[in-house]
Homo-oligomer: A and B are copies of this chain.
Amino acid sequence: MMISTRGRYALRVIVDLAENSVDGYVPMREVAERQGLSLKYLERILPLLVSEHLVEGVHGKGGGYRLSKEPSKISVGEVLRITEGDIAPVACLENNAVKCEHINDCRTLPVWKGLNDRINEYLDSVSIADLMKDIH
């Protein structure tokens, strides 16, 4: 399996924020409760999203989190790359991969590159807005 709970939970949090932060900030306690996830675990995931300017957090009463961009401007690929670190399907395509010596003669590399391209292409084509429930 490629996408761990970190990425999956992050995505659910982002969609939850998109749907529930009508104007103000939403405390993570509420999101955790709504989504049935551990607050403590989410608290470890959110700083990643903050540092990459996907969400903003404010302290104190009335504080919480909100999205920094419109849901239509955030792609699923963006969220996953931030939280998973790397969504390459094989080790040799990871960012910090050790240079393979048979790279010019590898029979299997083309299929991994092809797979990687299709995965990223698709995940970048879906936005958070695409995942939101239409609220009439």
A interface vs B, CB < 8 Å?
1-3, 5, 8, 11-12, 15, 36, 76, 86, 88-91, 94, 102, 107-108, 110-112, 114-115, 118-119, 122-123, 126, 130-133
Contact check, A111 vs B89: say whether CB atoms are below 8 A apart.
no
Q: 5 A-B contacts, Cβ less than 8 Å apart?
A: A1-B90, A12-B107, A12-B108, A111-B123, A114-B122
**Could you tell me if B131 and A86 are in contact, using CB atoms closer than 8 angstroms?**
no
Which of A36, A86, A119 gathers most chain B CB within 10 Å? A119
Q: How far is the CA of A32 from the CA of B32 in the complex (A)?
A: 50
Given A11-B108, A115-B119: A88 in contact with B131 (beta carbons within 8 A): no
Instruction: State the Cβ distance, A52 to closest chain B Cβ, in Å.
Output: 19
State the CA gap A133–B89 with chains docked (Å). 23
Are the C-beta atoms of B131 and A1 separated by less than 8 Å?
no
Residues of chain B within 8 A of A114, CB atoms compared: 122, 126
Question: Are B90 and A107 in contact, with the CB atoms below 8 A?
Answer: no
